[in-house]
Amino acid sequence: MAEGYDFLRFLFTKYSESEYLTEAWTQIHESLKQFLQNSSENFQSMSYQTIYCQIYKSTCKGYKERLFDDLKKLIIEHCQNIKVQLDESMKRMIDDRSNRHKNIYILQFINFLHQFQRAIDVIAPLF
């Protein structure tokens, strides 16, 4: 019985700011960034269970609001980067006035939309 109590005490002992950043958010951030970018470059495999455990521990250890804010900030940053890329493509399309650039812009937009939807489909069950 004491073992179960020790585990609960460990689980609900509040993280310090540095523990949250080093033990939880860094791993969660890297995984979520890879999901959002659908990146296979430098892909570091991490199981759902590992990510989910980090999220669960962060929530139990008093960082649920911070975790939500960090997640929101990461997604906003990603969307802003996509917007910059699309704005550059649109500028090329307007400057060149060619159908080729129009088609490239549309395909790029669709590709970003599909990537984002796939990432959200993977990220949502974790939270």
Percent of the chain with pLDDT over 70: 84
Answer whether residue 45 shows pLDDT above 70: no
Average pLDDT for 43-52: 75
pTM: 0.75
Q: Please say if the pLDDT value at position 42 is more than 60.
A: no
**HEC states along the chain?**
CHHHHHHHHHHHCCCCHHHHHHHHHHHHHHHHHHHHHCCCCCCCCCCHHHHHHHHHHHHHCCCHHHHHHHHHHHHHHHHHHHHHHHHHHHHHHHHHCCHHHHHHHHHHHHHHHHHHHHHHHHHHHHC
> How sure is the predictor about 11, in pLDDT bands with cuts at 50, 70 and 90?
low
